[in-house]
Amino acid sequence: MSFFDLYMNRNPLITSSDDDTEPVATVFGVPFDSTHSYKPGCRFGPDSIRDSFNNIEIFHPDLQVNLETVNIEDLGNTRHTVVASEMIDMVKKITTELVAKQRQLFILGGEHSITYGTYTSFPKETGYIVFDAHYDLRDEFADIKLSHASYLRRIVEERGSENILHVGARAFVKEELEFLKENNIKTISDREIRDGKGPRLVKEYVSTFDSIYSSFDLDVLDPAFAPGVGNPEAVGITSRELFDMIYPFQETKVIGADIVELNPYHDNGSTASLAAKIISTLIAMNLSPNQ
Amino acid sequence: MSFFDLYMNRNPLITSSDDDTEPVATVFGVPFDSTHSYKPGCRFGPDSIRDSFNNIEIFHPDLQVNLETVNIEDLGNTRHTVVASEMIDMVKKITTELVAKQRQLFILGGEHSITYGTYTSFPKETGYIVFDAHYDLRDEFADIKLSHASYLRRIVEERGSENILHVGARAFVKEELEFLKENNIKTISDREIRDGKGPRLVKEYVSTFDSIYSSFDLDVLDPAFAPGVGNPEAVGITSRELFDMIYPFQETKVIGADIVELNPYHDNGSTASLAAKIISTLIAMNLSPNQ
Amino acid sequence: MSFFDLYMNRNPLITSSDDDTEPVATVFGVPFDSTHSYKPGCRFGPDSIRDSFNNIEIFHPDLQVNLETVNIEDLGNTRHTVVASEMIDMVKKITTELVAKQRQLFILGGEHSITYGTYTSFPKETGYIVFDAHYDLRDEFADIKLSHASYLRRIVEERGSENILHVGARAFVKEELEFLKENNIKTISDREIRDGKGPRLVKEYVSTFDSIYSSFDLDVLDPAFAPGVGNPEAVGITSRELFDMIYPFQETKVIGADIVELNPYHDNGSTASLAAKIISTLIAMNLSPNQ
Amino acid sequence: MSFFDLYMNRNPLITSSDDDTEPVATVFGVPFDSTHSYKPGCRFGPDSIRDSFNNIEIFHPDLQVNLETVNIEDLGNTRHTVVASEMIDMVKKITTELVAKQRQLFILGGEHSITYGTYTSFPKETGYIVFDAHYDLRDEFADIKLSHASYLRRIVEERGSENILHVGARAFVKEELEFLKENNIKTISDREIRDGKGPRLVKEYVSTFDSIYSSFDLDVLDPAFAPGVGNPEAVGITSRELFDMIYPFQETKVIGADIVELNPYHDNGSTASLAAKIISTLIAMNLSPNQ
Amino acid sequence: MSFFDLYMNRNPLITSSDDDTEPVATVFGVPFDSTHSYKPGCRFGPDSIRDSFNNIEIFHPDLQVNLETVNIEDLGNTRHTVVASEMIDMVKKITTELVAKQRQLFILGGEHSITYGTYTSFPKETGYIVFDAHYDLRDEFADIKLSHASYLRRIVEERGSENILHVGARAFVKEELEFLKENNIKTISDREIRDGKGPRLVKEYVSTFDSIYSSFDLDVLDPAFAPGVGNPEAVGITSRELFDMIYPFQETKVIGADIVELNPYHDNGSTASLAAKIISTLIAMNLSPNQ
Amino acid sequence: MSFFDLYMNRNPLITSSDDDTEPVATVFGVPFDSTHSYKPGCRFGPDSIRDSFNNIEIFHPDLQVNLETVNIEDLGNTRHTVVASEMIDMVKKITTELVAKQRQLFILGGEHSITYGTYTSFPKETGYIVFDAHYDLRDEFADIKLSHASYLRRIVEERGSENILHVGARAFVKEELEFLKENNIKTISDREIRDGKGPRLVKEYVSTFDSIYSSFDLDVLDPAFAPGVGNPEAVGITSRELFDMIYPFQETKVIGADIVELNPYHDNGSTASLAAKIISTLIAMNLSPNQ
Ligand SMILES: [Mn+2]
Ligand SMILES: [Mn+2]
Ligand SMILES: [Mn+2]
Ligand SMILES: [Mn+2]
Ligand SMILES: [Mn+2]
Ligand SMILES: [Mn+2]
Ligand SMILES: [Mn+2]
Ligand SMILES: [Mn+2]
Ligand SMILES: [Mn+2]
Ligand SMILES: [Mn+2]
Ligand SMILES: [Mn+2]
Ligand SMILES: [Mn+2]
């Protein structure tokens, strides 16, 4: 055995204690933020999440799962492009290949537009639940049809709104509200979360699906909990409220998830640690013997 | 029509989609922080609030108001001075001119001492409600009679305490407490807010006035929600608690408001986004057909 | 009298308004972080806490105590070392000397390993209550037996676990959980705190001791409230919950306390202001006539 | 006269002491950085330059010019777009309108691609001199033909290379070198500047033109002098060397100039103060009675 | 002997290896920046210089001096005031007391206005040499007569200009130039320094005095070398040029010096390390057996 | 062929355009800074250098080398330890394995102590040239024998001083100077570099060796050029002076090199871009057909 095996890891990629077993999950990053309208920088999100993930404790006593002893496959980042359509094309092809492998998949953003490339590469019957302070339902924004502000409209146009649940919106424009209503998109509002109804409503929704894909736009959280985002929107939900809505995912199987809009330029580490905990929790839930 | 009209805006000033209609509100900044005792920098507050305001969604579904289609007048900042008395003189003259125009007025600080120049330029019968972690009732501080730590005492000396409500104090010295009691200044304490009594008490107070002026010292918030202030004071109120006390303003008419003590040196964007939301909410409430 | 007495203070050390009376408390700093595993920098913690302490209002109306008129002795920092065993040796000797003086003692960290040198220099019957997101019960970490990740195990090995209460753990590994159970270490869990049981459980515990030593690893707080730590761990307790568990200390006498793991590199001032408030509160409680 | 005239300025826009006289120069900003390949953020460049310009002393004793008493017109920023072709279209139309007014024009970037829209709107016989660590002569970059890495190639394709002088390149790829040679683009190399030949070579070049347009990609400077750029390239020229190449512009008339690639995220104020000094120097030279 | 003597130091104050011998120099700080016109924060300068000084190597082989074995007395900072006249009064009284002790004195700023209080407390025949990018000769600035922008005019009015040498000005307004000429103030210009004439001119000047007081406004340096200042002015002198003008001080005796305008908010450590080196060099020169 | 091959890279590791050919160089990182005495954080150096390297243009026209088409092998980082002796043991074993492969080797620090593990694993006849503001020749520092402040003494004790050249020292203590003289360690002083003698002296030295190992402590540079270091020492050499001393390496073969002491906490990107350029230059020189 070489000393490399003993002493070296592939850090800054996500590293596992055990590299020899079949991976329990696959991760890749999409460092894309070219359509960003306010504070750019979420292209640096994937590496920041990796760094935080490599430094948190990953034993879940409630779930009886010890992530220290499992293998997570990190494929690195997609090559650089500044063209949204190129990015989507690339992300769709990669995701499609990975979906075929039937391993829990995590995509690290990058801006929310990447979800248009990832979720639509999963089977049609997959439920979609997105946490976001915004609806991202504009028809066009800053002269472009496909951006972080319109990705969900593109998805609805392509797949319909049946399998979609939007959670936590608190800032939007009139045209988004109209599209939302016309398409009967299901929602859990900021107010419902605050009133404590979130977990039950999520549970009801996810239990109707065999498998779901979940998208976490971190700006759904109050900027106190997630300052490192491109569009901080005051007066959001707490991290406890978010995780209380994640635990009900145990009712179904999370086959894919993305964590988007993390902007390290404005983060102090809090946001990255939340992103890391979302990932470790979803993996642990997937592996839990209780499930 | 020129391409300027089509393509240019006056940003970094606050910009409106519609520049041709009568403005619904007027804004000006006072970049003054010369009497600051701990962490200077709130002189950069006005421009930081503008930047955030220009980047938030400003449609209020509850209030049925779409700020995207209204005109807001931004007069820019007062010229630079480091002398408090000069600043007050200047601010009084400007505010007096603007009060005469009977348009909702927003003053962006700068340190809290500016309020001595603004509120006192409104009619005497105007109610005054201030949110602050501190009383600002010292007789003198750091060798000066008129400073952010004593402005409210100066107001009380000039106008009496009848129309004043202080909300959220959690840090003060003995002499302030004595002055407070001697002058029977009405208060809503940090404890009362935590116990959920804030909204009702605010409602009771504001409903006794035809019009009010409101002053927001952002340090009333917990530093988790508003880190970008000159005197962060641990264990404060949440942003939800603050906005729950703003909504009852619908019982009256907010004719003027200031947002002070925002220090961009220590902000990560959270504090500025809160300041921007306070402004957009007060404008929307003022325009609301419900009112 | 010299003008020095009139105009100079010992700032950047902690300064008191009254330097002539018997000090009510003694403070020293241990700028040590050499065993830190993730984000180093808590060696700068002591000076950051001093700066914040020198700038907060320190009158406690509930406790009827005015810290403005008392004298606090600040001994400065220990000399620099990068060797944990040297640091412990030094800290033990200094603490032992100070314990003999029977004055309330505050130690400013620095990483958590310093507690192994301080608490063990107090009398054996002193109760120990520690607030921490982690158990710090590893047998070894990063090739060293004595580190911030294992200090509590070393204390238990030396003194047993009888007098120990651990509060707020939410991230740990399997071996720590096993050691915890084997040694019957008393705990208040993150869940119990969230459910509101913290204050009562703390009260029950501390009331069984004549005197206690309390250790505050600031990462027990949610990163929203305490971003400036070396190991931010998402979804923690609020500052209100922490202080609600501090007030019951009035049931006993706090003869020593440390505040550790504050990392100014990642702080925006919030964390330092919390640390300062912990100190001022513990001093005020110690002096309170109610006690 | 109103107190507004007396006390208010349009700051944060560039403000002049004298607003009533005919402006001596016009300024507008293009907050565009969507094709940026490494560190985004130069969209914030225009406002950062304004802030610095408003705070420097602007009397030039050598040039006998006092900018304190002249009027500079600031039109604000172009509206937001993330599409390069839209930005170019908009910038071309605006510049064309402004060129017709025959007033010295300054464009504040934003990334270097904007120059493709500005310079090409000036008369064909206008000389073009660009300072840049890079050639920006790629055929395509990150899947896009028009970007900060290829703008100069687009200009050469449209206008030929006759009137172009490139100054200061020190980092490039093979295809750029080939295009450079094929098109006989004139250059002053980093080595020639270091050897002190820059000023003479610039003088020779500019004296063959009645009027020139100058483009300043701030990364031409060593990162020591200009850390706030998107692509810092080590071992560049000093600020003295740059200004020694600017003074010879007195041999001709500078009718337009852009300052691009300033990224405030990575600046400490040095880069912005350099940008501001470039502008004030070019205005003063234009007004100088010596000219 | 107590363990305190062995293990504790007075850090964050400046600490010496040898606390028992007669100090060779005295230091105090003036954390005042209330008249600052652009970027406030130099009130934090004194503590930042201390921190850097405590961490540099202080053996000077050329001068044959080992500062590791000498005692430096640090008196801490003056109490807080925001009123310039109060600050000056306080600083004058303290300096006068210290001058009587005939020990080399260092004052750590704070803004440049403090020099009006310090230099004028030294004997009239003391030479004054100031390094500054600005003249600080305005009659009034931002509505105040005594500020960092006018302190030198106040000194000239009080003491005449005979003993004054100004070094390094590169940014000023017309009225300053006029006052400079009317009063025949001696200068070494930025251009003369760049041409290598600085050291000889300084030497000629200082050799006509038995003792001098030197004032270092760190903005005399190029922002590349000293980014941490309140008014960064592009294209200044290098640190080598500055120190080449300090070494000729060996021709006389430096009995007092101030280092002002260091703003830690904008520093990355470079500026503080320069300030620390200025102090250690002046002490070493004062102690040098060559002298 | 999979889309992974097409679209994914291993970024954040160093990536090459061509992964299929034999690598021309090997890189690994040692994220160790536990013995650091002042500003910790150089444990984050390796990843910061990688990020910068992945974003610079790497075509060297003078050397006729195009790094875009070669393969560089990046092994990642060593596992975490806080014990210097463990780190050295690990680094020695890894380096020894890699030396056997006879490929140009780059080690990314981390603190300077790592060089004790790397250089000593190369053949004894390998020349050693180190650039450093400090001698690192203490016998002990901060209670430890093996640290960044003493690593070179340990090397001299083990290997003698014959093959060692120290370049650029400007800050040291008496004991280091004595050891230097006793052991006749060859030096190029800061003064000699400033006087332009550096390149010739380096050339003379390296031409006596068949192969050399070079160590770059980035603090040899002036903080203006390399602010991101743990011990910034004012008034150092320029980046041009450093590279002028690197080019003479063409007289020999550089078989190994380390770049140490880069501290991203204090960097603005300048320092990382210098580190990246050192690596690309050394690789290009090694591949140059001129050689
Ligand atoms: Mn979104
Ligand atoms: Mn969103
Ligand atoms: Mn206030
Ligand atoms: Mn306040
Ligand atoms: Mn701990
Ligand atoms: Mn902890
Ligand atoms: Mn360019
Ligand atoms: Mn460039
Ligand atoms: Mn000055
Ligand atoms: Mn100056
Ligand atoms: Mn070294
Ligand atoms: Mn060094």
Task: State how far the Cα of C76 lies from the Cα of F83, in Å rounded to an integer.
Answer: 28
C194/A contact by beta carbon, under 8 A: yes
- Measure E42 CA to nearest chain B CA, in Å: 10
Q: Which chains touch D (3 or more CB pairs under 8 A)?
A: A, B, E, F
Task: State how far the Cα of F213 lies from the Cα of F210, in Å rounded to an integer.
Answer: 11
Contact between E39 and E227 under an 8 Å Cβ cutoff? The reply is no
Residue C93 has pLDDT above 60, yes or no: yes
Contact list in F for residue E274 (CB cut-off 8 A) is 223, 234-235
Contact list in F for residue D235 (CB cut-off 8 A) is 239-240, 243, 274, 277
Contact list in A for residue F10 (CB cut-off 8 A) is 13, 76
Q: Do E13 and C12 touch (CB under 8 A)?
A: yes
A37/B contact by beta carbon, under 8 A: yes
Return the minimum-mean-pLDDT range out of A21-30, D191-200, F14-23: F14-23
What angle separates helix F270-287 from helix F239-246, to the nearest 10 degrees?
20
Give the residue from E5, E11, E105 with the most C CB atoms within 10 Å of its CB, the best one to mutate: E11
Residue A290 has pLDDT above 70, yes or no: no
The percentage of residues in chain B with a pLDDT greater than 70, rounded to a whole number, is 98
State pLDDT tens for residues D72-105: 999 999 998 999 999 999 999 999 999 999 999 9
Q: Do D234 and F68 touch (CB under 8 A)?
A: no
pLDDT of residue B18: 64
Task: State how far the Cα of F77 lies from the Cα of F91, in Å rounded to an integer.
Answer: 11
* Tokens linked to F145: 């024998």
Q: What is the CATH number of domain A10-287?
A: 3.40.800.10
One digit per residue, pLDDT tens: chain E, 291 residues?
577 777 887 788 888 766 678 999 999 999 999 999 889 999 999 999 999 999 887 778 778 888 888 899 999 999 989 999 999 999 999 999 999 999 999 999 999 999 999 999 999 999 999 999 999 999 999 899 999 999 999 999 999 999 999 999 999 999 999 999 999 999 999 999 999 999 999 999 999 999 999 999 999 999 999 999 999 999 999 999 999 999 999 999 999 999 999 999 999 999 999 999 999 999 999 998 765
State the virtual CA torsion across C252, C256, C261, C262 in degrees, nearest 10: 90
Closest Cα partner for D32 from D187, D263, D218?
D263
Residue B6 has pLDDT above 80, yes or no: no
Q: Do A4 and F50 touch (CB under 8 A)?
A: no
> Does the annotation list F139 as a binding residue?
no
What one-character DSSP code corresponds to residue C102? T
Hey, which residues 244-263 in chain A have their CB within 8 Å of chain C?
A: none
Can you point out the beta strands (E) in F224-267? 253-260
> Does the annotation list F219 as a binding residue?
yes
**Vertex C93 angle, CA C91 and C94, to 5°:** 65
Q: Of the ligands numbered here, which is closest to the C-alpha atom of D155?
A: 7
Return the minimum-mean-pLDDT range out of C65-74, C261-270, F105-114, F257-266: C65-74
Q: Do F171 and E56 touch (CB under 8 A)?
A: yes
* Mean pLDDT, rounded, for A266-284: 96
3-class SS string, B122-151: CCCCCEEEEECCCCCCCCCECCECCCCCCH
State pLDDT tens for residues B91-131: 999 999 999 999 999 999 999 999 999 999 999 999 999 99
Residue F194 Cα to chain centre, angstroms: 22
Name which of C82, C86, C265 is nearest F34 (Cβ-Cβ): C82
Q: How many CB pairs under 8 A join E and F?
A: 59
pLDDT of residue D61: 76
Residue B70 has pLDDT above 90, yes or no: no
Q: Of the ligands numbered here, which is closest to the C-alpha atom of C150?
A: 5
* Tokens linked to B134: 């501190």
Chains A and F touch (3+ CB pairs under 8 A): yes
Residue C117 has pLDDT above 70, yes or no: yes
What one-character DSSP code corresponds to residue A144? B
Instruction: Give residue D17's pLDDT band: very low, low, confident or very high (50, 70, 90).
Output: low
State pLDDT tens for residues D27-53: 999 999 999 988 999 999 999 999 999
Tell me the CA distances in angstroms from F236 to B119, C174, D235, E239, F44, one per residue in order: 55, 50, 15, 9, 24
- Measure D152 CA to nearest chain F CA, in Å: 17
Closest Cα partner for B257 from B95, B44, B125?
B95
Q: Do B239 and A222 touch (CB under 8 A)?
A: yes
Hey, which residues 49-68 in chain C have their CB within 8 Å of chain B?
A: 55-57, 59, 61, 66, 68
Chains A and C touch (3+ CB pairs under 8 A): yes
Q: How many CB pairs under 8 A join A and D?
A: 50
Contact list in B for residue E41 (CB cut-off 8 A) is 40-41, 265
Tell me the CA distances in angstroms from E29 to B34, C237, E97, E263, one per residue in order: 19, 40, 15, 14
Task: State how far the Cα of B277 lies from the Cα of B263, in Å rounded to an integer.
Answer: 17
Q: Which residue of C has its CA nearest to E75?
A: C10
Name which of A57, A225, A276 is nearest C224 (Cβ-Cβ): A225
Q: Do F11 and A90 touch (CB under 8 A)?
A: no
Q: Which residue of D has its CA nearest to F226?
A: D224
pLDDT of residue A5: 73
Side chain identity, residue E232: P
Closest Cα partner for E49 from E243, E202, E281, E264?
E264
Closest Cα partner for D57 from E191, C47, E175?
E175
> Does the annotation list C166 as a binding residue?
no
pLDDT of residue D56: 82
pLDDT of residue C133: 97
Q: Which residue of B has its CA nearest to C224?
A: B224
| Residue F50 backbone dihedrals phi, psi, to 5 degrees | -55, -50
Q: Do F240 and D194 touch (CB under 8 A)?
A: yes
Give the residue from C222, C237, C238, C265 with the most A CB atoms within 10 Å of its CB, the best one to mutate: C222
| Residue C87 backbone dihedrals phi, psi, to 5 degrees | -60, -45
Name which of A173, A228, A233 is nearest B273 (Cβ-Cβ): A233
The percentage of residues in chain C with a pLDDT greater than 70, rounded to a whole number, is 98
The percentage of residues in chain A with a pLDDT greater than 70, rounded to a whole number, is 97
Contact list in D for residue F59 (CB cut-off 8 A) is 172-174, 177
State the virtual CA torsion across B238, B241, B247, B249 in degrees, nearest 10: -100
pLDDT of residue E223: 98
For residue B66, how far is its CA from the centre of ligand 6 (angstroms)? Answer: 46
Task: State how far the Cα of B174 lies from the Cα of C150, in Å rounded to an integer.
Answer: 44
* Mean pLDDT, rounded, for A252-259: 98
Closest Cα partner for F237 from F133, F164, F165, F111?
F133
Contact list in A for residue B61 (CB cut-off 8 A) is 172, 177
Longest dimension (CA), chain A: 64
Side chain identity, residue C41: G
Residue B94 Cα to chain centre, angstroms: 17
Return the minimum-mean-pLDDT range out of B202-216, C55-69, E237-251: C55-69
> Does the annotation list D217 as a binding residue?
yes
* Mean pLDDT, rounded, for A181-207: 97
N- to C-terminal Cα separation, chain E: 38
Rg of chain B on CA atoms, in Å: 18
Give the residue from A1, A2, A7, A99 with the most F CB atoms within 10 Å of its CB, the best one to mutate: A7
pLDDT of residue F59: 78
Task: State how far the Cα of F94 lies from the Cα of A3, in Å rounded to an integer.
Answer: 6
CA-CA-CA-CA torsion sign (D112, D118, D120, D124)? negative
* Mean pLDDT, rounded, for C97-119: 97
Mean pLDDT of chain D: 94
Task: State how far the Cα of B169 lies from the Cα of B188, in Å rounded to an integer.
Answer: 8
State pLDDT tens for residues A60-98: 877 888 888 888 999 999 998 999 999 999 999 999 999
Contact list in F for residue A12 (CB cut-off 8 A) is 12-13, 47, 50, 76-77
Contact list in A for residue B243 (CB cut-off 8 A) is 235
> Does the annotation list B5 as a binding residue?
no
Give the residue from D2, D3, D96 with the most B CB atoms within 10 Å of its CB, the best one to mutate: D3
Contact between D41 and A40 under an 8 Å Cβ cutoff? The reply is yes
- Measure D228 CA to nearest chain E CA, in Å: 12
Q: Which chains touch A (3 or more CB pairs under 8 A)?
A: B, C, D, F
Contact between A276 and A46 under an 8 Å Cβ cutoff? The reply is no
Contact list in C for residue F35 (CB cut-off 8 A) is 34, 82
N- to C-terminal Cα separation, chain C: 38
Alpha helix locations (H) across chain A? 3-7, 45-53, 84-99, 114-118, 151-159, 174-182, 190-194, 198-206, 239-246, 270-287
Contact list in A for residue F45 (CB cut-off 8 A) is none
CA-CA-CA-CA torsion sign (A44, A45, A48, A50)? negative
What one-character DSSP code corresponds to residue F237? B
pLDDT of residue A65: 86
State pLDDT tens for residues F163-177: 999 999 999 999 999
Hey, which residues 109-148 in chain F have their CB within 8 Å of chain D?
A: none
C208/B contact by beta carbon, under 8 A: no
Side chain identity, residue B150: S
Contact list in E for residue B35 (CB cut-off 8 A) is 34, 82
pLDDT of residue A59: 78
Architecture of domain C3-287: 3-Layer(aba) Sandwich (3.40)
